[in-house]
């Protein structure tokens, strides 16, 4: 992928993150405003598991995971690549960032999928 | 007779044959109104320090040779009047972000290499028309205006000296080369964007710009390289999604002989092609 496309994607995910993060905030931190539910209740295990069974929430969190990971790791790559690196170190940084992203994505997806399938009551 | 003011010039000295690190020397000079830093250096060299080295040529802000770090800002010595600096002590050092060859002489090779890398010339798809032109390429005043300021670059290198990204990332193409990349890709006669992608569509290309804007402040010719970098980004992004600027493959004027017939009262410009 050309640097232009990588950078464009990095910019493009910003509004996506803003919308999805807004949904996350509404679900988790502004539950009293949007759902008439106390914050403590919104963060209870049973409530979260129940909410996690929603297909919409599953999709929202997977998308937020992808968008947040891409945006954050592209930024991290930019910071690291500004260091005086040899060509070999550049490859190590790029590969390391890719592997780190895949690992976090796998973990995040597993947690979201587990929640989606978890029996009510834990 | 004009009033003179005594100014102390603190000049950073470095001779690679004798010095391991640079040092500062001071020279006092009675400076009249209107004297430039370059003229002051000439007077110091003539009267006090014959070994002082710097690079200069035109003395009128055209050649871009005399870029220096004057009172901690990159400036052309020939365009900077000493008394306008409003300081009793004037510090003069070589441009930062470049290797120091001697005294006030920077090594401008990185500037030239980066400039050459972006292919700073018109690239046209019809190479036959370039080699054996049958007419002249049209450029309207509006088309010229869209790139006009970027054509004023004199390759003095002050923008690279001012750029904080160049300071931390020596591989960054820098404002000069990127502004020139836009100057040519934005030219309606040019079809060379894809020929330049290898040089500009890279990590150390336009996306590495931190948008500090120091380059635009430093430019002695009023060029706004920071703006050019943003325009170059837009050009690259639109091209990457298939909305690149469409340019005519052959944009030529009609034969000038016909123009002469139509406009009898005005003399046309002399033919440059076909004689």
Please write the tens of the pLDDT for every residue from B49-82: 999 999 999 999 999 999 999 999 999 999 999 9
pLDDT at B265 over 70: no
**Cβ–Cβ gap A5/B240 under 8 Å:** yes
Q: How far is B113 from chain A (nearest CA, A)?
A: 19
Nearest to B240 among A2, A78, A82 (CB): A2
User: pLDDT averaged over chain B?
Assistant: 90
Pairing mode of beta strands B4-13, B89-93: parallel
Residue B142 neighbours by CB distance under 10 Å: 8
The yes-or-no verdict on residue B252 having pLDDT over 90 is no
| pLDDT tens-digit readout, A63-80 | 999 999 999 999 999 999
Q: Is residue A68 part of a domain?
A: yes
Domain annotation covers residue A8: yes
CATH number, position A10: 1.20.1300
Task: Using a pLDDT cut of 70, give the percent of chain B over it.
Answer: 89
Which residues in chain B have their CB less than 8 angstroms from residue A2's CB?
Answer: 197, 201, 240
Q: pLDDT at position B156, please? A: 97
> Regarding predicted confidence, which is higher, B188 or B136?
B188
Q: How many domains does chain A have?
A: 1
Report whether pLDDT(B140) > 50: yes
Chain A neighbors of B165, CB-CB under 8 A:
82
Contact state of A7 with B202 under an 8 Å Cβ cutoff: no
Q: Is residue A122 part of a domain?
A: no
What's the confidence (pLDDT) of residue B246? Answer: 67
Q: What is the mean pLDDT of residues A97-118?
A: 94
The string of DSSP letters for chain B reads: ---EEEEEEEEEE--TTT-SS-EEEEEEEEEETT-BHHHHHHHHHHHT-TT-------SSSSS---EEEETTEEEEGGG-BGGGG--SEEEEEPPTTSEEEETTEEE-HHHHHHHHHT--S---S-HHHHHS-SS-B---HHHHHHHGGGGG-----HHHHH-HHHHH-TTS-HHHHHHHHHHHHTSTT---HHHHHHHHSSTTSGGG-----HHHHH-TT---HHHHHHHHHHHHHHHHTT-PPP--S--BPPPHHHHHHH-SSSPPPPP-S--
**Nearest by CB to B201, which of A3, A81, A84?**
A3
Name the pTM for this structure: 0.84
Question: What is the domain extent for residue A52?
Answer: 3-117
Q: Higher confidence at residue A52 or residue B220? A: B220
The pLDDT assigned to B244 comes to 77
User: What pLDDT was estimated at residue B207?
Assistant: 95
Q: Can you tell me the mean pLDDT for A1-22?
A: 94
- For position A111, what pLDDT does the model report? 92
Per residue in A20-62, pLDDT (tens digit) is 999 888 877 787 887 788 878 877 888 888 888 889 889 999 9
Judge whether residue A121 has pLDDT over 50.
yes
Q: Does A14 map to a domain? A: yes
Q: Is residue B1's pLDDT more than 80?
A: no
ipTM confidence score: 0.78
pLDDT in tens, B19-53: 999 999 999 999 999 999 999 999 999 999 999 99
Quick check: helix, strand or coil at residue A101? helix
Question: Which residues on chain A place their C-beta less than 8 Å from a C-beta of chain B?
Answer: 2-5, 7-8, 78, 81-82, 84
Query: Cβ contacts (< 8 Å) between A8 and chain B: which residues?
Result: 237, 240-241
Q: Is B230 on the interface with A (CB under 8 A)?
A: no
Work out the minimum CA distance from B169 to partner chain A, whole angstroms. Answer: 6
Cross-chain residue pair A78–B208, CB shorter than 8 Å: yes
Best-predicted range by mean pLDDT among A90-94, B242-246, B257-261? Answer: A90-94
B108-123: average pLDDT: 95
Q: How confident is the model at residue B262 (pLDDT cuts 50, 70, 90)?
A: low
Check CB contact under 8 Å for A84 and B170: yes
Task: Encode pLDDT of B150-189 as tens digits.
Answer: 999 999 999 999 999 999 988 999 999 999 999 999 998 8
Flag whether pLDDT at A122 surpasses 60: no
Q: Residue B248 has what pLDDT? A: 56
CA distance A56 to A116: 11
Structural domains present in chain B: 4-107 (3.10.20.30), 109-240 (1.10.1060.10)
- Judge whether residue B259 has pLDDT over 60: no
pLDDT at B89: 98
């Amino acid at each position: 992928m050309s640097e232009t496309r990588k950078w464009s994607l990095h910019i493009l995910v910003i509004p996506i993150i803003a919308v999805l993060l807004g949904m996350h905030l509404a679900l988790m931190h502004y539950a009293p405003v949007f759902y008439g539910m106390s914050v403590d209740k919104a963060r209870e295990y049973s409530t979260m598991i129940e909410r996690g069974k929603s297909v919409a929430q599953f999709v929202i969190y997977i998308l937020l995971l992808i968008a947040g990971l891409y945006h954050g790791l592209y930024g991290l790559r930019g910071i690291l690549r500004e260091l005086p690196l040899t060509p070999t170190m550049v490859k190590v940084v790029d590969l390391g960032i890719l592997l780190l992203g895949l690992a976090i994505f796998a973990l995040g997806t597993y947690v979201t999928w587990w929640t989606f399938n978890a029996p009510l009551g834990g | 007779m004009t009033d003179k003011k005594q100014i102390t010039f603190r000049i950073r000295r470095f001779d690679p044959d004798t010095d391991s690190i640079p040092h500062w020397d001071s020279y006092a000079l009675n400076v009249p109104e209107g004297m430039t830093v370059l003229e002051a250096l000439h007077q110091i060299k003539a009267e006090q320090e014959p070994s002082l080295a710097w690079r200069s040529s035109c003395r009128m802000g055209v050649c871009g040779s005399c870029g220096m770090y004057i009172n901690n800002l990159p400036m052309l010595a020939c365009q900077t009047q000493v008394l306008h600096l409003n300081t009793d002590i004037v510090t003069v050092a070589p441009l930062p972000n470049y290797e120091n060859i001697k005294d006030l002489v920077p090594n401008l090779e990185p500037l030239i290499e980066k400039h050459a890398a972006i292919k700073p010339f018109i690239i046209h798809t019809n190479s036959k028309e370039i080699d054996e032109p049958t007419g002249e390429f049209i450029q309207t005043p509006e088309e010229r205006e869209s790139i006009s300021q970027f054509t004023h670059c004199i390759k003095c290198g002050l923008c690279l000296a001012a750029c904080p990204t160049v300071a931390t990332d020596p591989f960054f193409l820098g404002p000069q080369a990127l502004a020139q990349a836009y100057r040519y890709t934005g030219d309606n006669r040019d079809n060379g964007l894809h020929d330049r992608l290898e040089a500009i569509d890279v990590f150390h290309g336009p996306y590495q710009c931190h948008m500090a804007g120091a380059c635009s402040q430093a430019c002695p010719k009023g060029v706004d390289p920071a703006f050019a970098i943003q325009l170059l980004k837009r050009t690259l992004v639109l091209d990457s999604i298939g909305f690149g600027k469409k340019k005519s493959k052959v944009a030529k004027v009609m034969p000038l002989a016909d123009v002469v017939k139509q406009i009898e009262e005005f003399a046309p410009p002399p033919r440059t092609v076909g004689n």
